[in-house]
Amino acid sequence: MGRLENKVCVVTGAASGIGRETALAYLREGARVHALDRDERGLAELAARHPGLRVARIDVTDAAAVEAFHAGLERLDVQVNCAGMVAVGNLQACTAEDWQRSLDLNATSVFLMMRAAVGRMVPKKGGSIINVASVISSIGAAPDRFAYGATKAAVIGMTKSVARDYASANIRCNVICPSAVETPSMTARIEAMPDSAAARRDFAARQPLGRMGTPAEIAELAVYLASDLSGFMTGSQLVIDGGAKL
- Per-residue HEC secondary structure of the chain comes to CCCCCCCEEEECCCCCHHHHHHHHHHHHCCCEEEEEECCHHHHHHHHHHCCCCEEEECCCCCHHHHHHHHHCCCCCCEEEECCCCCCCECCCCCCHHHHHHHHHHHHHHHHHHHHHHHHHHHHHCCEEEEEECCCECCCECCCCEHHHHHHHHHHHHHHHHHHHHHHHHCEEEEEEEECCECCHHHHHHHHCCCCHHHHHHHHHHCCCCCCCECHHHHHHHHHHHHCHHHCCCCCCEEEECCCCCC
Q: Could you give the CA distance from residue 137 to residue 13 in angstroms, rounded to a whole number?
A: 19
Catalytic residue among 26, 148, 166, 224: 148
Residue 61 CA: distances (Å) to CA of 58, 109, 111, 132, 218: 9, 5, 9, 16, 24
Question: Are the C-beta atoms of residues 231 and 170 closer than 8 Å to each other?
Answer: no
Q: Among this protein's residues, is 224 annotated catalytic?
A: no
Catalytic residues: 148
